[in-house]
Amino acid sequence: MNNAQFTDGDSITLSANAADSDGAVRDVEFMVNGASVAVVDQAPYQFVWKNVAVGQYTITAVVTDNEGAVTQDKVKIAVNPADGGVPPVVDLAYPTANTQMKAGDQVVLKANASDTDGAVARVEFYVDNQLVGSDETSPYEMPWTATEGSHTFKVKAIDTDNLEVWSQEVTVAVEGSSGGSGGCAGVPQYKAGTKYNVGDVVQNMNYKYECDIAGWCSSNSAWAYEPNTGAYWQEAWTELGICAIGPVVNFTTPADNATVLAGENVTLAVEATDADGSIAGVEFFAAGQSLGVDTQAPYSANWLASGNGEVSLSAVATDNEGNEGKAGVLVKVSDQPLVASLTSPTSGTTVGLGKAINMAAEATSMSGTVTKVEFLVNGRVVATDTSAPYTAQWIPGSVGSYTISALRQTTRV
């Protein structure tokens, strides 16, 4: 389920329904933040992902059939600290996938957000993975001036405990104010109330239409006769087909909301297709700066990760007719190559003399593999664990206060 919430240490069942109408399913590969965690080659297509650490994850199920055809679906989940509160809930109220916009329109982006165990601190609005503004009070709204092309919209809610969650992403195609590209070059844009004759051709929302009945075509009642949207438009117009089909672009790596290490070379890779032509090239961007153009599939570019925090990565594909399609992801750049945190016991825990204390730690490596975690009491190693989940027990030998810590080691790969 998209935007599902889990607790630190939970075992999560990844499950996919897969079928092939003209053949057979070869396998289903489950991926977490772009990394493969399991391949299942028979139904039911399930995998139990154990001891999941705190964080936000994108889960992708990649289905391959017996002919090598591939399709995929993805969801986002959040894993929260066991005692860290409940994250907020947020959804993008406007725009929706069916929203129609024209370049130059003054649009108000809207979101709904709530928090069950506190308050929403702010809601951030993102267009094409770029922060365009935030609102700290309900109703959560942000003005935006529409620009021509395909755009992605999503919002992020942050509560007073600094827990955050993303909404689902919505893609909207914004029509050009002057209209016309590709197969509609030179075709006038429909305008309600304009005098049209039988046989006149107009364009509207990237489609061409021919006038059949002059009086109805020329009506100023757009609600009734605007091509493709009016209640009775088919009585006045005949659709002649799409003007131009822009490229479709999808990031294959890195995954949305992935974490990368500052100073590391990161490969940006996309799949780009064009239904009515060919891809002329794909230009890659990091934080708005061009990384170069790739004119041959597979389309990729290298980026030396820089900064600290969220960075927008995007790819713009151009087809042989000059139409564009784009996609983007947000990644978090970290300057910490290895991170360890003690999750148990918590500070201030009291135990009886001679009773065992359960110790647990989380450890992640951005540049290699965690080989072991050492548990220290007052600076002395008392236990070592070489595999996740990293746990150990220690029995205090005398009454007193103790400082427990975790030390991690890694092997670079």
Q: Report DSSP state, residue 176.
A: P
Q: Give the tens place of pLDDT for each residue, 229-238.
A: 899 999 999 9
Q: Does residue 38 contact residue 30 with C-beta atoms inside 8 Å?
A: yes
Q: What is the pLDDT along the chain (413 residues), one digit of tens a residue?
A: 666 777 777 788 888 888 887 888 899 999 887 778 889 998 888 888 887 777 778 888 888 888 888 888 888 887 776 666 678 889 999 998 777 787 888 899 999 999 988 899 999 999 988 899 999 999 999 999 998 777 889 999 999 888 888 888 888 878 765 444 446 767 888 999 999 999 999 988 878 899 999 999 999 999 999 998 899 999 999 988 877 777 889 898 888 877 788 888 999 999 998 877 889 999 999 988 999 999 999 999 999 998 888 899 999 999 887 788 888 888 888 876 665 667 778 766 777 777 888 888 776 666 567 778 888 888 888 888 888 778 888 888 877 777 777 665 544 43
333 Cβ partners below 8 Å, 6+ apart? 259, 260, 261, 262, 305, 306, 307, 308, 309, 310, 311
Domains recognised in the chain with CATH numbers = 4-80 (2.60.40.10), 182-242 (2.10.10.20), 245-335 (2.60.40.10), 339-412 (2.60.40.10)
* Cα gap 199→213, rounded to integer Å: 9
> Strands 170-175 and 149-159: what pairing?
antiparallel
Q: Does residue 334 contact residue 262 with C-beta atoms inside 8 Å?
A: yes
Q: Give the tens place of pLDDT for each residue, 1-55.
A: 666 777 777 788 888 888 887 888 899 999 887 778 889 998 888 888 887 777 7
* Cα gap 313→348, rounded to integer Å: 43
Q: Give the tens place of pLDDT for each residue, 59-82.
A: 888 888 888 888 888 888 877 766
* Cα gap 239→228, rounded to integer Å: 8
